[in-house]
Structure 1
């Protein structure tokens, strides 16, 4: 079982002024109590502890006043720890859960009250829920105004596009498509991603540059990739740190990852949309 590196203690300054109510839309919490919150056996990696206190410290040190927690795959559909953290910070945090097809409307309602605003499908790491459950779950969450979040390789999108367009809820694509930038923005998968955000009200997370580029630590080849997505529809872009950066061979500095946003979106107007307005609209943060 792959053991993950721990996130760096140092967090470099972003190099630009963060707007009020800036939101990190993608991070995970991992309890240090593995007896109460055990990992699933079919996980793809074993992360270090990344408890609530460390997460909140990271948000503060990066200048974020809001955050979105994503249920990490090593817990499967046991959302208890994430929900516990959400319930303690109702104005500051929202969450994305992982459930199975047999989840009840009562369970979804309880999650909604705790701050959950979407479900994640994950076909890249063990412990997740896959595409087979997509239509069933989308039907169940539509009444809550939730969305579906996809951890997938965008090279799968062309084949899935007919199904995705028919979903009764919008979708969010993780990590700029989790597809190597070496494939180029002319790849059919990238074009499909653009179509979804331009014509079907989908969203993309400007996160995980280290998952799509080998150009460590600057990821210069991600700049045209991210800018092409922003230029397609800046109103559907979100930023996320992906802290604590699990299942990667080299650990980036979280602050320097945020600093990349200034290269991707040089105008403060665009950054304000990506960091404040867009997440407020998607996750229902109060003004």
Structure 2
């Protein structure tokens, strides 16, 4: 454990860590070793000294891997867990001490939590100041806005809120994202290759700019490392996932996105 340095101040707000020896759920991809030191080394080279470790669906509600990773250097990184309604208050408190600040709901994978779990967990998440992170399609933004209305919980929407390259300027999803923005939601600028786009992702620049206009300062960036949509030996260059933010928003605005994790994950 290295406690004798000050990490760079940039935030990569969406990474995963994997260990093939950790029990994985059947029917998913088989993860290879992608551990915290590897992504720390990769991210630091781009000035991203803080990471948000997001529980991948392959491990279900067994958050042990990300909790052990967070414990390596307390206070440096943050986590987003996956829990079910049976989780105890003691377990949530332990997660909080280790740096967890949100719970992920996955409406894309069949193993994800749904609205019933949201309603059941909401009071306990709110009491800890946690947010709810959604992996969802653009046509599910309306349902998310309905759930969050009056809940007191902040929504964080993964992967450009699902606004893929085929979404038109008149699509109703934009109005629902505007409603979410009015509720205080955040969007992660991430997952370009999940959005009907390929490198260097210029087709998404207009969407990125429009999302930035709607969300104001409530934007963070995530690399989605180690990119489970790719073969493990053919990962996209790390900086290629950051460049669309700079190109779509300009250096000055991109700098605010780079640092915004310090606010969202305080």
User: Do the two structures share a fold, i.e. TM-score over 0.5?
Assistant: yes
Show the counterpart of 1:202. Answer: 185
Which segments of 5 or more consecutive residues in structure 2 lack a partner in the other structure? 1-6
Show the counterpart of 2:4. Answer: none
Aligned pairs (5 A) from 1:130-279:
130-197=114-181, 199-214=182-197, 216-248=198-230, 251-268=235-252, 270-276=253-259, 278-279=260-261
Which segments of 5 or more consecutive residues in structure 1 lack a partner in the other structure? 1-18
SS in 1 for 2:40: helix
SS in 2 for 1:235: coil
Residue deviations 1:232-278 (CA, integer Å, cap 9, x gap): 1321000000000113577432211112211122042x2222111x2
Structure 1 runs of 4+ with >4 Å offset: 248-251
SS in 2 for 1:62: coil
SS in 2 for 1:119: strand
**Of residues 16, 22, 29 in structure 1, which corresponds to 2:17?**
29
Residues 46 and 123 from structure 1, CA distance in 2 versus in 1: closer, same or farther, beyond 3 angstroms?
A: farther
**Of residues 64, 68, 72 in structure 2, which corresponds to 1:80?**
64
SS in 2 for 1:149: strand
CA distance, structure 1, for counterparts of residue 31 and residue 162 of structure 2 = 20
Q: TM-score, normalised by structure 2?
A: 0.91
CA-CA distance at 1:139 after TM superposition: 1.5
The answer (yes or no) to whether the contact 1:176–1:205 under 8 Å persists in 2 is yes
The answer (yes or no) to whether the contact 1:27–1:69 under 8 Å persists in 2 is yes
The answer (yes or no) to whether the contact 1:177–1:190 under 8 Å persists in 2 is no
CA-CA distance at 1:62 after TM superposition: 2.5
Q: TM-score, normalised by structure 1?
A: 0.84
CA distance, structure 2, for counterparts of residue 267 and residue 195 of structure 1 = 28
RMSD: 1.8
Comparing 163-172 with 140-149, which one deviates more in the overlay?
163-172
The answer (yes or no) to whether the contact 2:14–2:222 under 8 Å persists in 1 is yes
Does residue 280 in structure 1 map to residue 262 in structure 2?
Answer: yes
CA-CA distance at 1:194 after TM superposition: 2.5
CA distance, structure 1, for counterparts of residue 86 and residue 27 of structure 2 = 20
CA-CA distance at 1:205 after TM superposition: 0.1
CA-CA distance at 1:130 after TM superposition: 2.6
CA distance, structure 1, for counterparts of residue 53 and residue 110 of structure 2 = 19
The answer (yes or no) to whether the contact 2:187–2:215 under 8 Å persists in 1 is no
Aligned pairs (5 A) from 1:6-155:
20-32=8-20, 34=21, 37-43=22-28, 45-155=29-139
CA-CA distance at 1:281 after TM superposition: 1.1
